Structure formats: C-alpha cells, structure tokens
Amino acid sequence: MDSAVSFEKLTEQFRRMPGIGAKTAMRLAFYVLELPKNEVEELAETIREAGEKIHRCPVCCNLTDEELCPVCKNVNRKHGLICVVENVESLMAIENTKEYGGVYHVLHGVISPLDEVGPEDITLKELLARVNEGGVEEVIMATGSNVEGELTAMYISKMLKPLGVKVTRLAYGLPVGSDLQYADSVTLSRAIQGRQAL
C-alpha cells in the first residue's frame, strides 16, 4: 500500500539497525507514532545529544560524554595495568565481572586483512603513546579468541615487548559449567596446554 512518506522513512531508519527486520522496524515506527509529541521530541533529542556529546576518552578511547571516561577518572584503579579490548561492549563485559581493577584501552576494531583493516585503522598509536609515557607495568590482551583477535594480540605484543612492558593474554580453556565431551578439540587442547597446578 502507499503509506505515509514520513512513516516509510522512519521504518527505513529502524530497518538499518542491527538485528532489526522489516516487521520489527514497522512495530518500532508505530511505537514512535503512538508516543505523545513531547516524548517523540525527547527521543529525537536523546539521539542527537548522544551523537553530539559522546566522544572517545583521550586516554583509553572508551566512549564518554565527560572529559575523561569514568574508568580513567577513577583514582582507585591501577593505572599501570591496561586491558586491551576490541570494543566498548567487551569493556562492559569485563566491568560486569567486577574482578578487574586496572584500566582499559579500546581498539575500536581488530586487525583484519580480509576486511582491509590494518594496524593504522585501530587505536594502536594511542596505545603506544600511553606505554611510551611510562608507568605501565602490564598490558593484558583481551581481544577475541578468533583469527583476527589472535592476530591483533600477536601484533600488539610484538609492538610493546621492545618497550620492556609485560604483555599477557586472557586464559583459554573450558567455559565454566561446560561438559568435557561437548568441548571442541581446539578448546580442549588449549585447556590441556594451559593446565594449572591444584
């Protein structure tokens, strides 16, 4: 049917979002149209404001709307321990464990020759500058355990080692609560290699 142009534009905008199909996009568009005018305005303003205010933390490249991100600003965290992550989602996942007291470095991507993402496309220059400034004792590589994550971890490790900083990698092994018989052989062989004394 010929529906309203503004409605179609709105549906199209939702349709582009990750994980949103045609039906959900339409449902979201109807949701917006049924909101009171002031709430539509508020939604539009929140999006605009986020786009304007949120920027990368000049230290760790985490997203923030203040000068420094909340992690870098926190004086109680160990600023000599840097955990390198691919994206802000990974950072949040680590924060949720409440186990980590250091700071972060967000790469905003991984080195991936197939996707034409090279070392200069992620925030390596910023990481190098931080380590060169001194005071960094350990860098934990927390990129994914897939090919690109591994490649990026290796690259960064080679880049930082000459500077005399300790570089570590997250442990590989069986996920907690998993059955041994269902583990894939690569994970299992890594778990054997990385076995620890009890």
Residue 46 as a binder of its own copies (CB under 8 A): the answer is yes
- Select the span of 61-69, 75-83, 118-126, 139-147 touching its own copies (CB under 8 A): 61-69
Residue from 7, 150, 165, 174 in contact with its own copies (CB under 8 A): 7
Residue 167 as a binder of its own copies (CB under 8 A): the answer is no
Tokens for 109?
A: 């991507």
- CA 90 remoteness from chain centre: 4
- Cβ burial 7-25 (10 Å sphere, 16+ → b, else e): eeebbeebbeeeebeeeeb
Binding letters toward its own copies, positions 95-134, x by CB under 8 A: xx--------------------------------------
Residue 21 as a binder of its own copies (CB under 8 A): the answer is no
Name which of 55 and 158 has its Cβ closer to its own copies. Answer: 55
Residue 54 as a binder of its own copies (CB under 8 A): the answer is yes
Residues 6+ away with beta carbon under 8 Å from 150: 143
Name which of 50 and 163 has its Cβ closer to its own copies. Answer: 50
Angle between helix 124-132 and 147-160 (nearest 10): 30
| DSSP symbols for 96-138 | HHT---EEEEE-SS--BGGGTB-GGGTTHHHHHHHHHTS---E
Q: From the CB of residue 186, how many other CB atoms can be counted at a distance below 10 Å?
A: 10
Residue 66 as a binder of its own copies (CB under 8 A): the answer is yes
The binding site for its own copies (CB under 8 A) comprises: 1-7, 9-10, 13, 17-20, 24, 26-33, 35, 37, 40-54, 63-66, 69-71, 87-89, 91-92, 95-96
